[in-house]
């Protein structure tokens, strides 16, 4: 297979972890006789510095014409610490999601046998956890009407959803549940929010089309508690943009490190694959960042192109690196640690 992949390294540790994912992907492509064409493009603070825009038109063209997008991270402290900044790296991410139509964020949460005791949660609570949170990505409060009034003393952000936005995400959730444990949980705040009531009635209307799927409805505050108490009770969770943003970060600690969890953002024509961690600017250029989440995001990319053996090869070599202690300092527990680039080299070599 020939794949044309847009490569958006972004900011902070993004370029370093992306480099390792490219090494591993190229090793997989060589082993299984595929051809990958990588097309780099600017985004985030790097793009602002270069052209004044966090998601330039040239970058959009590269992404729109690609088969998939592999993305690192965006963000820089000089923007975080300046509330008056008119242009911000994160605006590029929102613009990219909207222009590419990336409406569904897929966040798997699972545990690694060799790292089970690194989680802040007890082994008996998390062992065997295997869930997916499907977050709506192009609607809700992040894209609704916003502004200030009363001379700037009152601020508002509006959570707006259209039925079709909820339905297309819910169908993705039902389809995933059918391939997994056939359990779907719709997470909302329908006791308070009208937008959540639209979510609930839309999902209820789809239940008859998926009679094999056991559907439940829970309030987001209850799920925030139960994810910690009983994560094994969930299979596929679907939820709105804001709720998903919070719950996915909460769920990420179950594995023991945000540096381990991959994600994808699905669109109708092109999808994007990225680690769930941020740009971690304090570590940028030091060759110490954990690249495994980005490498596992590449595995999700291969899987979505029905290249199951290739995806499994990546997951297997990542598990091998964890079991053999070929890890960056965040996972080394004071023992021997490896540089970001060394981990990438080891993974690529062991794929071959």
* CA separation for the pair 167, 351 (Å, rounded): 40
Task: Confirm whether residue 168 is marked as ligand binding.
Answer: no
Question: 226-231: long-range contacts (C-beta < 8 A, 24 or more apart)?
Answer: 227/251, 227/254, 228/121, 228/125, 229/125, 230/125, 231/109, 231/121, 231/125, 231/126, 231/129, 231/131
CA angle 239, 244, 249 (to 5 degrees): 150
Task: Confirm whether residue 235 is marked as ligand binding.
Answer: no
- Tell me which residue of 69, 80, 8, 5 sits closest to 43, measured CA to CA: 8
Task: Confirm whether residue 221 is marked as ligand binding.
Answer: yes
Task: Confirm whether residue 135 is marked as ligand binding.
Answer: yes
Q: Which residue do the tokens 């997470």 mark? A: 187
- Residue 301 token pair: 């990319």
Query: Are the CB atoms for 217 and 186 separated by under 8 Å?
Result: yes
What are the percentages of helix, strand and coil residues in the chain, rounded to 5?
A: 50, 20, 30
Task: Confirm whether residue 97 is marked as ligand binding.
Answer: yes
Task: Confirm whether residue 123 is marked as ligand binding.
Answer: no
- Tell me which residue of 132, 183, 140, 185 sits closest to 160, measured CA to CA: 140
Q: What is the DSSP letter of 329?
A: G
Q: Please, how many CA atoms are within 13 Å of residue 346, restricted to the half-sphere of its CB?
A: 21
CA torsion, points 62, 65, 69, 71, in degrees to nearest 10? 10
- Residue 293 token pair: 């989440």
Q: Are strands 130-136 and 262-266 parallel, antiparallel or unpaired?
A: unpaired
How many residues does this entry show for the chain?
352
Contacts (Cβ under 8 Å, ≥6 apart) of 157: 141, 144, 145, 146
Catalytic residues: 142, 189, 221, 245, 249
Count of CB atoms situated within 10 Å of the CB of 301: 26
Q: What is the DSSP letter of 131?
A: E
Annotated binding site for substrate: 97, 107, 135, 221
Annotated binding site for Mg(2+): 221, 245, 249
Annotated binding site: 97, 107, 135, 221, 245, 249
């Amino acid at each position: 297979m020939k794949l044309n992949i847009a490569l958006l390294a972004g900011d902070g540790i993004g370029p370093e972890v992306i480099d390792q994912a490219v090494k591993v992907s190229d090793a997989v492509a060589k082993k299984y006789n595929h051809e990958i064409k990588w097309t780099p493009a600017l985004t985030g603070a790097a793009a602002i510095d270069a052209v004044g825009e966090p998601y330039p038109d040239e970058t959009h063209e590269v992404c729109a014409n690609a088969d998939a997008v592999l993305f690192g991270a965006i963000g820089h402290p000089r923007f975080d610490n300046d509330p008056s900044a008119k242009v911000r790296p994160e605006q590029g991410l929102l613009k990219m999601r909207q222009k590419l139509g990336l409406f569904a964020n897929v966040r798997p949460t699972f545990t690694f046998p060799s790292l089970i005791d690194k989680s802040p949660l007890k082994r008996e609570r998390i062992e065997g956890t295997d869930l997916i949170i499907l977050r709506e990505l192009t609607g809700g409060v992040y894209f609704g009407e916003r502004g200030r009034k009363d001379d700037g003393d009152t601020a508002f952000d509006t959570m707006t959803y259209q039925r079709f936005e909820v339905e297309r995400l819910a169908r993705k959730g039902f389809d995933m549940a059918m391939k997994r444990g056939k359990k779907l949980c719709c997470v909302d705040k329908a006791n308070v929010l009208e937008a959540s009531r639209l979510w609930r009635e839309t999902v209820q209307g789809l239940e008859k089309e998926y009679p094999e799927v056991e559907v439940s409805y829970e309030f987001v505050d209850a799920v925030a508690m139960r994810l910690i108490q009983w994560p094994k009770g969930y299979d596929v969770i679907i939820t709105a943009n804001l709720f998903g943003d919070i719950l996915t970060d909460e769920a990420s600690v179950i594995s023991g490190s945000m540096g381990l969890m991959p994600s994808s953002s699905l669109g109708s024509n092109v999808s994007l694959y990225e680690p769930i961690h941020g740009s971690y600017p304090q570590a940028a250029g030091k060759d110490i960042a954990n690249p495994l989440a980005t490498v596992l995001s590449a595995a999700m990319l291969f899987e979505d192109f029905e290249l199951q053996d290739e995806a499994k090869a990546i997951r297997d070599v990542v598990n091998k690196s964890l079991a053999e202690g070929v890890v960056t300092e965040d996972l080394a527990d004071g023992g021997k640690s490896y540089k970001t680039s060394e981990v990438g080299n080891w993974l690529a070599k062991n794929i071959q």
